[in-house]
Structure 1
Amino acid sequence: MAPVDPHSFTDSDHPLTTHVSLTLYFDFPSSTISAATLLTLAAPFSGELTLDTRSLSISAVLDPLSLSPLPFSLSPSPPDPVLGQSLTVTVSDKAEVLILSKTSADSSALQWLSPPQTFNKTHPFVYTQCQAIHARSIFPCQDTPAARTKYSAKLNVPRKLSAVMSAKHVDRRPPVAAEAGGACEDSIWCAEDRIVEEFVMDQPIPPYLFAFAVGELGFREVGPRTRVYSEATPAVLDAAAEEFAGTEEIIRVGEKLFGAYEWERFDLLVLPPSFPYGGMENPRMVFLTPTVIKGDAAGAQVVAHELAHSWTGNLITNKNNDHFWLNEGFTTYAERRIVEEVQGEERAAMNIGIGWRGLVEDVERFKDNLEFTKLKTNQAGVDPDDVYSSVPYEKGFQFLWRIERQIGRPAFDEFLKKYIGTFKFQSIDTDMFLDFLKANIPGIGDEVDLKLWTEGTGIPPDAMEPVSDLYSKIVSLAEEFKLGRMPREDEVADWHGQEWELYLENLPKSVEASQVRALDARYRLSESKNYEVRVGFLKLGISAGCREYYSEVEKTLKEVGRMLYLRPLYTALVQGDGKEEDKVFARRVFSEACDCYHPIAKGVVEAIFAKFG
């Protein structure tokens, strides 16, 4: 007996779940969800079945046929700080188990927004973020990507609201009696002011791709298989529809490069600003931060990344988080191939350059724990959210790019399609990939040091920055800033957000306050509507001690919850020998803003404070 995953209580000797049937009752006043969860196992099982939970109250475990109770127990409190609590159910030759449970108000997967925290200020809103190990805080499950499951779901919500899921929508209807594992006809489940939204996911997915959102939702059609959803706010919907108008072209390019799109729909949901990531690749319904709506179609690059996951991540999944690069390194490579096709080589090179700078910074960030600069990591006892970084994305990309350079793009494209076709709808690990690589590209291990790339720390010597005229020009201009020369207006006339982002990333970490002020006086970067540019500049302003920008820092930290912005700004304020007044400022802003952050983002900021004091 052994765990199948360092981040799960699931035992390798137990059959894995193949289907989950859920009935969920949403109680917005208490910020809780009551759930009836029917788990179907791959085979009948006798003994103690172990499941993952976090902050769930379990009211009953039942035989679904007889509704007779089954013995169960939760591991003692306090919960494991990473894994939560194990739920052990004693069964005898059973392939199905029905569990009645209720979430807590502080579920790590859920953010409940009150009406004032939404765009329209009228109705509440709730959404999920289950990656990496947060599905267990919604319903008991084998919360490991090794367990790929199909699912069906009935969401019982207030009639004025609607729901979307990472699944096919099949019905919107009044509630009926006896749903939720025996709820009676007169219960709150069947009240007249409620509605049931039904969904089904017919393809097996890992639990972290389970996703829903409930609120006042509207949509715009932008393609034959794409709608853009958001809160029913015309301004947001119209801006999103314009930003993502080219989505169908991106899908077709992806299909040309990587094979058939297996998920039927590719809809997009623009969430409130508190969403902690740029995007989340939930199948059929990608979740996006509104900060990707930049007005210049640059947000399409985030869409390209989430689309690429439809092949690398959703079709082929890392078996556990020690092999996360198999999801993100492949997807970053695939994203840049799509961008190159749609927007050209220069734009793809810009992405590689920005990613290179992020990789260099994150390798430095983990200088005291180089384990997390490897591709194949050991995360036992470690919260995946605490060590989330660009390393699996960018080092993984660099590894695949290195192989492509070695064998040539046509041969690598052929390999990729064969890889996807061989392992689709499976969860694999690094060794399985390497075995497949060596079998299909004989001699690759003699040309590329595979062990150094996957198990070595830091950046291998055969990694490389991109080569392009635009990239070289921007890096050169950043070098000249060290000598006191900022770019002329004619040199930046054609720049968009990414050019400025790359420029700021390549500036020295310590510059004179006068230089920072002069740069902003000419180009007003502190007020940029592009958050990557604004945050890059504000980080520079903090390091230079330009306190006149702190009001803009505070505004930014209070209006968005994307960790890409929170992490660098809070870190810049509190790290090293920073002034005590900066730390006091950071803690005050966090105390006032944290209720608008998703629990995952809140935990990341609290970890920054714990690290730097």
Structure 2
Amino acid sequence: MRRIVAPLSLLLASAACTSIPAETGGYPEPLVAPILTSPEALDTSTYARPQEARVTHVELDLDLDFAKQRVGGVAELRLLVAPGEERLVLDSYGLEIEKITDSRGAELSYSVGETVEAGGKGAPLTIALNGARNIRIAYKAPADASALQWLSPEQTAGKVHPFLFSQGQAIRNRTWIPTQDSPGIRQTWAARITAPKPLDVVMSGVRQGEPEDLDDGRRAFRFVMDKPVPPYLIALAAGDIDFKAIGPRTGVWAEPSVLPRAHAEVADTEEMVVAAERLYGAYRWGRYDMIVLPPAFPFGGMENPVMTFLTPTFIAGDRSNNGLVAHELAHSWSGNLVTNATWGDSWLNEGVTTYFENRIVEEVYGKKRAEQEAALMYANIQEVLAEVGSDEPGTALSTDGEYELGSAIAYDKGAFFLRTVERIVGRERFDGWLRQWFDGHAFQPATSEMFLADMMENLVASPAEAEALMLRDWIFAPGLPANVAKPDPAAFAEVDTAVAAYTASGAIPAAYAGWTAAEQMRFVDNIPKDRTAAQLAALDTALGLSKTGNNEILFLWLELALMNRYEPAVPQVEAFLAEVGRAKFVRPLFTVLWNEGDWGQPIAKRIYAGTRGSYHAATRAGVDRVLGWTE
């Protein structure tokens, strides 16, 4: 399917797309993406009925109230409504609706349905349109909106000003924006955001001019995203932040004291953009900027268009963890340009992106590093399959189950699927196919069935090749197919030899200090887990594990220490968990403590009682489940 830029009345009408006549009420026609209507494209996480009435554009005029920790104002929605339909259904979770009107100011009646807490689905907001095709919703987000994290000055690097950031994926934006919160209902948007001086505001849209000084000690910032995006990609951050350019279209924001280190860490970003374009076509979003957030940010990164959000925990001083930057950049093609229509197909975002990330790493840092990082991915898959079983339905790429960020299946199995296809058909053919996939589905939603059909039509050369590729097994069956292209066993030959030597005799490798970060992680993660206090002390003394500046390695050390009830590590674990809110680190460390019974559970409870309030809702939810925590 091609990108839709024609008048709305010419939207493609087929078994897979909905066609609704245009009634834009005098607004300029927005770029409108199709709605998929095939059965596998049904998104059960939304209340929206986009075949009847859909949101095509959102305009926000919102005030950030740091004193009350509330966001409120007006959302104006432009709609596309099918003939004979006069009902619009939006997603809402705790939104306080003050009034809904049409473009002339006439009030429209509405109702809020019963809230479904499970999965954060919230409640349907149903509006009687009475002919309106543009509506205005005056509202406030709830004080506990799970998409928003308000940080006190003490939780920032500067310790002077508060901070706010949003995290919308997967379905949290319905807690602060009244819209149809589904990845398959793409929308353009614009925003005017006011915040107190001297705070700066950034969003996942292009800033329009300089901020406007207001009479009340505040400033107004304006942003536009003129390309249709899934609603979870509408994001903002506000705080005491500065900017430093990297290249002609790249740069980084961070708190002033963090900015020099952040800039040095991501200095290769412009080169990465060039490498990505060389692989799979033009970068279509204009600028590629990043913001390094305070450590309470719950994920490694979030691919918000034109403004990637990053955790400071990736800063190691040697750019060894900025495969993370390559990953979020790659989302500008896979995930943002072409998006999974439902969260059960999240591998279309994350697996394709993880493959693309590895190709960028190879282009910029060389094949050895790329192969080592791929080997770590493969080990993640093997670990998950060993834990849950190769027949577990959730280990299929396309599932009906709950979408979980960070899954070794969606990310790593998805990447190895594409590595396997590349290995069989050849890199040149595969790259040509993937580029045409991005071009042919730009700014549109997609499903696994569409991905498979496109491969069969535009990549597979013969029935024999189709059989060798095992495409349907890869996408819809659990486990790893027999044809998986395993990583090069030589990638970690020296490290694996050192692991074997340490296992046999306790010999700690003298070469460790000269290894890459990936090699160091491989060693620490693969040595025997059952260690005495003396053995752990020897490792720490020889390798400097507790003093490493790489948080990925530090996490592996702390995890190993807790597994063995190593008391000297407890203060460092407590300090780490008090500062870092990244779910990838926080949840596993609390899990290890909890699994250590009478020794670890009191420590976990004590630490969590002091840190829970500083964690984002996404991090909190995972740890709550582990500890059985109730407020």
Whether 1:271 aligns to 2:289 is no
Where 1:355 maps in the other structure, the secondary structure is: helix
Where 1:93 maps in the other structure, the secondary structure is: coil
Please list every run of 5 or more consecutive structure 1 residues that lacks an aligned counterpart in the other structure.
176-189
Is the contact between residue 339 and residue 348 of structure 1 (CA under 8 Å) also seen in structure 2? Answer: yes
Decide whether aligned partners of structure 1 residues 158 and 527 sit closer, same or farther in structure 2, where only a CA change above 3 A counts.
same
Letter in 1 for 2:428: P
Decide whether aligned partners of structure 1 residues 80 and 70 sit closer, same or farther in structure 2, where only a CA change above 3 A counts.
farther
Decide whether aligned partners of structure 1 residues 611 and 25 sit closer, same or farther in structure 2, where only a CA change above 3 A counts.
closer
Decide whether aligned partners of structure 1 residues 486 and 611 sit closer, same or farther in structure 2, where only a CA change above 3 A counts.
farther
Decide whether aligned partners of structure 1 residues 572 and 263 sit closer, same or farther in structure 2, where only a CA change above 3 A counts.
same
Whether 1:403 aligns to 2:421 is yes
Letter in 2 for 1:396: G
RMSD: 2.1
Q: What residue number does 1:485 align with?
A: 506
Letter in 2 for 1:171: G
Whether 1:214 aligns to 2:253 is no
Q: What residue number does 1:453 align with?
A: 474
Q: What residue number does 2:360 align with?
A: 338
Shift of 1:209: 0.8
Is the contact between residue 173 and residue 195 of structure 1 (CA under 8 Å) also seen in structure 2? Answer: yes
Q: What residue number does 1:200 align with?
A: 224
Is the contact between residue 62 and residue 99 of structure 1 (CA under 8 Å) also seen in structure 2? Answer: yes
Whether 1:475 aligns to 2:514 is no
Q: What residue number does 2:27 align with?
A: none
Any idea what the Cα deviations from partners look like across 1:194-239, whole Å, max 9, x if unmatched?
Answer: 2110010111111111111111111111111112101233xx1111
Decide whether aligned partners of structure 1 residues 220 and 461 sit closer, same or farther in structure 2, where only a CA change above 3 A counts.
same
Shift of 1:369: 9.3
Is the contact between residue 479 and residue 506 of structure 1 (CA under 8 Å) also seen in structure 2? Answer: no
Is the contact between residue 108 and residue 130 of structure 2 (CA under 8 Å) also seen in structure 1? Answer: no
In the alignment, the residues of structure 1 paired with residue 598 and residue 483 of structure 2 have an alpha-carbon distance, to the nearest angstrom, of 42
Letter in 1 for 2:249: R
Where 2:299 maps in the other structure, the secondary structure is: coil
Please list every run of 5 or more consecutive structure 2 residues that lacks an aligned counterpart in the other structure.
1-36
Q: What residue number does 1:68 align with?
A: 106
Where 1:492 maps in the other structure, the secondary structure is: helix
In the alignment, the residues of structure 2 paired with residue 402 and residue 273 of structure 1 have an alpha-carbon distance, to the nearest angstrom, of 36
Shift of 1:560: 0.7
Any idea what the Cα deviations from partners look like across 1:288-316, whole Å, max 9, x if unmatched?
Answer: 11111111122432111111111111111
Q: What residue number does 1:93 align with?
A: 131
Any idea what the Cα deviations from partners look like across 1:400-445, whole Å, max 9, x if unmatched?
Answer: 1110111011111111111111111111000000000011123343
Is the contact between residue 398 and residue 475 of structure 2 (CA under 8 Å) also seen in structure 1? Answer: yes
Any idea what the Cα deviations from partners look like across 1:484-515, whole Å, max 9, x if unmatched?
Answer: 333321x2242132221121222234344433
Whether 1:551 aligns to 2:571 is yes
Aligned residues: 588
Q: What residue number does 1:184 align with?
A: none
Shift of 1:263: 0.7
Decide whether aligned partners of structure 1 residues 611 and 406 sit closer, same or farther in structure 2, where only a CA change above 3 A counts.
farther
In the alignment, the residues of structure 2 paired with residue 480 and residue 456 of structure 1 have an alpha-carbon distance, to the nearest angstrom, of 38
Q: What residue number does 1:530 align with?
A: 550
Shift of 1:365: 4.7
In the alignment, the residues of structure 1 paired with residue 415 and residue 77 of structure 2 have an alpha-carbon distance, to the nearest angstrom, of 37
In the alignment, the residues of structure 2 paired with residue 302 and residue 606 of structure 1 have an alpha-carbon distance, to the nearest angstrom, of 27
Q: What residue number does 1:541 align with?
A: 561
Is the contact between residue 265 and residue 319 of structure 2 (CA under 8 Å) also seen in structure 1? Answer: yes
Is the contact between residue 349 and residue 471 of structure 1 (CA under 8 Å) also seen in structure 2? Answer: no
Q: What residue number does 1:591 align with?
A: 609
Task: Give the structure-1-normalised TM-score.
Answer: 0.92
Shift of 1:449: 1.8
Shift of 1:517: 2.5
Letter in 1 for 2:49: D
Is the contact between residue 4 and residue 12 of structure 1 (CA under 8 Å) also seen in structure 2? Answer: no
Where 1:460 maps in the other structure, the secondary structure is: coil
Is the contact between residue 31 and residue 104 of structure 1 (CA under 8 Å) also seen in structure 2? Answer: no
Any idea what the Cα deviations from partners look like across 1:234-260, whole Å, max 9, x if unmatched?
Answer: xx1111111111211111000000100
Whether 1:114 aligns to 2:138 is no
| Equivalent residue for 1:430, pick from 448, 452, 458 | 448
Shift of 1:328: 0.7
Q: What residue number does 1:179 align with?
A: none
Letter in 2 for 1:130: G
Q: What residue number does 1:54 align with?
A: 93
| Equivalent residue for 1:361, pick from 383, 391, 398 | 383
Where 2:180 maps in the other structure, the secondary structure is: coil
Decide whether aligned partners of structure 1 residues 589 and 367 sit closer, same or farther in structure 2, where only a CA change above 3 A counts.
farther
Q: What residue number does 1:439 align with?
A: 457
Is the contact between residue 25 and residue 35 of structure 1 (CA under 8 Å) also seen in structure 2? Answer: yes
In the alignment, the residues of structure 1 paired with residue 474 and residue 116 of structure 2 have an alpha-carbon distance, to the nearest angstrom, of 39
Is the contact between residue 93 and residue 121 of structure 2 (CA under 8 Å) also seen in structure 1? Answer: yes
Shift of 1:11: 1.9
Structure 1 segment 552-571 matched on structure 2, within 5 A: 552-571=572-591
In the alignment, the residues of structure 2 paired with residue 221 and residue 77 of structure 1 have an alpha-carbon distance, to the nearest angstrom, of 45
In the alignment, the residues of structure 1 paired with residue 79 and residue 489 of structure 2 have an alpha-carbon distance, to the nearest angstrom, of 52
Shift of 1:281: 0.8
